Chain A
Amino acid sequence: MSRNVRLPVVLALLAAGPAVLADESSVRLAQGEGVEQVQAACAICHSLDYIVMNSPFQDRAAWEKTVTKMVKVMGAPITAEDTAQIVGYLDRHYGKGAPPAP
């Protein structure tokens, strides 16, 4: 295993807290405008690690496509206003070229 692979893994494990308590509440999203909307809407159906896992390679259009699919196909109850907030947040924190995941 190369060092540049090992380091983020070790950091992720440390960030996850006590091993015996591991559950989806251990997933930490970046703080910023829109994070409340993301937590409220996305976590209805899935854990928030889906977001971190799918980063940082999606541009704004790709995140928009994903959120639109969640609303139109999967039935996520998200208002148009919140959709814009959510897409903006995902692009800023988990978009292409975004800073490394926390």
Chain B
Amino acid sequence: MDRRKFLLGSSSTVAAGLLLPRLSVAGAAAGGLPAGTIASSALDTLPGKRPLIRRTFRPPNFETPVELFDEAFTPNDAFYVRWHGGVPELALADWRLRVAGPAAQKPREYTHAELLRRFKRHEVAAVNQCSGNRRGLFAPHVPGVQWGYGAMGNAVWGGVRLKDVLEDAGLAPGALEVVANGADAPMLTGPDFVKSLPMWKALDPDTLLAFEMNGAPLSTWNGFPARIVAPGWTATYWIKAVVDLTVTDQPFDGFWMKTAYRVPKGMFGASGFESQDTEQNSPITSIKVNTLIVGPAPGATLAAGRHAEVMGIAWDGGSGIRRVEVSLDGGASWREAKLGRELGRYSWRQWRSDFKPKAAGTVTVLARAVARDGATQTEALVHNPAGYHHNVVQRADYHVA
């Protein structure tokens, strides 16, 4: 504990609330946010980041403005920030990863250099999306961080396979879950933010102990020096500043597994995490297929009779994107958008669609993605108490003049 310093979102760490009118604060696309959210949010700059939409100062919760999703990979300084408590500032020389637990036969402790020396490097391109992304658009609203569209990003994550690290610790036959804990500490006597993964997910060859994003070391805001990367699963499992892995033979029953981050049983299909299912609910796990219109920003003016192009991104929990469809007539007919290059099944995929708005007035663009597993987006919100899995088909209105 004495090795750690905690960054709190105070005046010393939040450098400047730069105002850049060019970037929308609430974003026209986030018109459904609660009035209080719009009133209390602003563009603000954390050290090392460009201006992001501040939802809360402490713990720091900052989302990426939609305009910045116009690249295949989200720049590290534009990547959203989400913490549950104090942000640990760790020194690499002091950092250790402990691997132990009742189902680890050879408990280990590694330095950063030992991990790099001992295990093969691996990379995966993957969307990191907060479970509560778009919660603020729920109707009726539910309490929590009122995110718009930007509690997500896409990056190439680099590190070592979690599988290699776990197997080095001698997995016992009864190994059931891997419990990951970061250096962040709870406030007061509240529950520490600790999450578990089922063995099959922990041993997936694309699940990482990552040190890098987009070729650079993780920033403190995004989990320096190491975080779990669980591609296809929501970011709650991507424990940041990880220091401790415990291999258990029993379901982990910490608050953030047992009580929080849950969806009503069966509402979104099987969780794939049976040891954490109860009769009433399941842990949120896989990301649902989704798309986002990035540009032009909804509300923009398009020229009548001139060629216009709408672009966006689409992603799912790892089956990959089969197609994206766009409708200009309220969903009566759909046309296929042109997909960009495939960058990996966990990555988002860029898309674009041309059209020529005819008469002056308003044109509404609808976009929906279809995944390779056949899943598509919902037309009506599947309301749930914690505000998860908002993947309602997006509507963007443009002025035509």
How distant is the Cα of A52 from the Cα of B145 in the complex, in angstroms?
A: 11
Closest to A65 in B: B143
A46, B31: Cβ atoms closer than 8 Å: no
**Contact assessment for B38 and A8 in the assembled complex, using a CB-CB cutoff below 8 Å:** yes
Is there a chain A Cβ closer than 8 Å to B140's Cβ? Answer: yes
Distance in angstroms from A95 CB to nearest chain B CB is 11
- B19–A53 touching, CB < 8 Å: no
Minimum Cβ distance to chain A for residue B383 (Å) = 13
Judging by beta carbons under 8 Å apart, are B188 and A73 in contact? no
Residue B165 CB within 8 A of the other chain: no
- Contact between B190 and A74, CB atoms less than 8 A apart: yes
Write the nearest CB–CB distance from A54 to chain B, whole angstroms.
5
A49–B56 touching, CB < 8 Å: yes
Identify the interface centre among A8, A23, A74, A102: most chain B CB within 10 Å of its CB: A23
> How far is it, in angstroms, between the C-alpha of A51 and the C-alpha of B187 when the chains are bound?
17
Beta-carbon contacts under 8 Å, A47-96 to B: 47, 49-58, 62, 66, 73-77, 94
Q: Which of B35, B141, B188 contacts A44 (CB 8 A)?
A: B188
Chain A: minimal CB distance from B205 (Å): 37
Question: Which label, helix, strand, loop or mixed, suits the secondary structure of the B interface?
Answer: loop
Q: Who on chain A is nearest to B144 by CB? A: A54
Q: Does B308 contact A (CB under 8 A)?
A: no
Check B188–A74 contact: CB distance below 8 A.
yes
Q: Mark B149-176, 1 if CB is under 8 A from A, else 0.
A: 0000000000000000000000000000
A64 CB to closest chain B CB (Å) equals: 12
**Interface range on chain A: under 10, 10 to 19, 20 to 34, or 35 or more?**
35 or more
B37-A53 in contact (CB<8A): yes
Taking CB atoms, residues of chain A closer than 8 Å to B273 are: none
* A99–chain B nearest beta-carbon distance, Å: 10
* In the complex with contacts A1-B299, A52-B39, A53-B146, A20-B17 CB distance below 8 A: yes
A8: chain B residues at CB < 8 Å are 35, 38-39
Specify which of A47, A51, A94 is in contact with B57 (CB 8 Å cutoff). A47
Contact of B19 among A19, A54, A73, A75 (CB under 8 A): A19
Q: CB distance A5 to B28 under 8 Å? A: yes
B40 contacts partner chain A, Cβ-Cβ < 8 Å: yes
Q: How far is the CB of A57 from chain B (nearest CB, A)?
A: 4
Minimum distance in angstroms from B153 CB to a CB of chain A: 21
Residues of A within 8 A of B17 (CB): 16, 19-22, 26
Residue pair B188, A49 in contact (C-beta under 8 Å): no
B residues with a Cβ closer than 8 A to A are 9-11, 14, 16-19, 24-28, 31, 34-42, 44, 54-59, 140-141, 143-146, 186-191, 255, 259, 297, 299
**Could you tell me which A residues sit within 8 Å of B by CB distance?**
1-2, 5, 8-9, 11-13, 16, 19-27, 44-47, 49-58, 62, 66, 73-77, 94, 100-102
